[in-house]
Amino acid sequence: MPSLEVLMRLYGPIGAGICAGIALGALLQRFAADSPDSANPLGLYQQVPLRLGRFLFWLGIPLSIVGFMRRADLSGNLYLAPVVAWAAILLGLLCSRLWIRRTPQAQWPPPTQGSFSLAAMLGNTGYIGYPVVLLLPQLGVGVFGWALFYDALGTLLGSYGLGAILASEMGGQRYLSAQLRQRQWLTRLRAVGQNPIILAFGLGLGLKAIALPAWLDQGLYQFAWAIVMLSLVLMGLRIQQLSSWHHLHLATVAVAIKMLVLPLAVGIGLTLLGVDGPPRLVMILQAGMPCAFSNLVLAEAYDLDRDLSVTCVGLSSASLLLTLPLWLWAFSGE
């Protein structure tokens, strides 16, 4: 098993960031409850994570990607990362469909099927995947490129490409005309190309070979680490606001597929292909990340089973503390 020192170096910052977010969320909630007559205090409880999320999405994470890419080793077969990501996404979809077929159809209205499949397919490889890879002493900034390629060219495209198509077919909006539904997911797919993470990916590649002033390069690097912690605070804020734990049985199955079956399949597959060391561990950990928050976005946009999506996100986020040591123990060796 991983040493206690390794786990503390990983869980210490992750736990501190997430707990800070949970505490902040509880404080804002208490303020809203104690001040019913003030100027929309509940709005503050809802707006803080929303605005922090927007800041991270549009500015924080893109700039952190540029900062970390300047120190990341982008040599080697990085193209393998998005290939593995897509293989894991499709395997998750296949496993979810097989489970749906083997169980009574009465509990599987189309919106529930959509949320179940998305939870089994798509992981949080950005907000939580990046910090995990960066904070592990045996990984770190040097192999950040593998996590970035997995997320930007795999999970991100899978979420708003294949994920949006699946959600549009399963959601309550499936009764819209075929032309309107096609326009909706094409609009979302087009938005992927304008996503700031994709743009930062290209900018980071372009700037990597350019010598920047030492103060600017160091400033970007320090800012990038600050964004890692803010991402964990946002995770805590959102976890604190999760209140729905319906469909716990279905959520347990989806989370087991996402956080046990997929990383195990990725680990065995990469080992058979002769891939080992830190790149293999990065891809296994990314494959085993909790269910993506983008699933909540898709559930809202396409009228899927919101309760199931929320339950999967909450359950998988808590399960990460148990699954991480498993993959570190099984695949940290050469």
271 or 75: which leads in pLDDT: 271
The pLDDT value recorded for residue 4 is 66
Q: Is the pLDDT of residue 81 over 80?
A: yes
Reported pTM: 0.85
In whole angstroms, give the CA distance from residue 1 to residue 7.
10
For 273-310, what is each residue's pLDDT tens digit? 999 999 999 999 999 999 988 888 788 778 888 889 88
The pLDDT value recorded for residue 120 is 97
Enumerate residues 6+ apart whose C-beta is below 8 A from 167. 114, 118, 298, 299, 301, 302, 304
Q: Is the pLDDT of residue 62 over 80?
A: yes
- Kindly list the structural domains of the chain, giving each domain's residue range(s) and its CATH number in brackets, ordered by start: 4-331 (1.20.1530)
Return the bridge partners of 5, or none.
Answer: none
In whole angstroms, give the CA distance from residue 299 to residue 125.
19
**How sure is the predictor about 182, in pLDDT bands with cuts at 50, 70 and 90?**
low
Averaged over 82-97, what is the pLDDT?
A: 96
Q: Is the pLDDT of residue 185 over 80?
A: no
For 37-47, what is each residue's pLDDT tens digit? 555 555 778 88
Burial of 114 (C-beta count, 10 Å sphere; 0-12/13-18/19+) = buried
Q: What angle is formed at CA 290 by the lines to CA 285 and CA 295, rounded to 5 degrees? A: 130
The SS3 assignment for 142 reads helix
Pick the range with the lowest mean pLDDT from 49-58, 84-93, 248-257.
49-58
Helix segments in the chain, DSSP class H: 4-34, 41-55, 61-69, 80-102, 110-121, 129-135, 144-150, 156-157, 163-170, 178-193, 196-207, 214-241, 248-256, 262-272, 277-287, 294-302, 306-331
160 or 291: which leads in pLDDT: 291
The pLDDT value recorded for residue 270 is 96
In whole angstroms, give the CA distance from residue 218 to residue 34.
43
For 207-224, what is each residue's pLDDT tens digit? 888 888 999 999 999 999
Single-letter amino acid code for the residue at 230: L
Phi, psi of 291 (to 5 degrees): -55, 140
For 108-132, what is each residue's pLDDT tens digit? 889 999 999 999 999 999 888 999 9
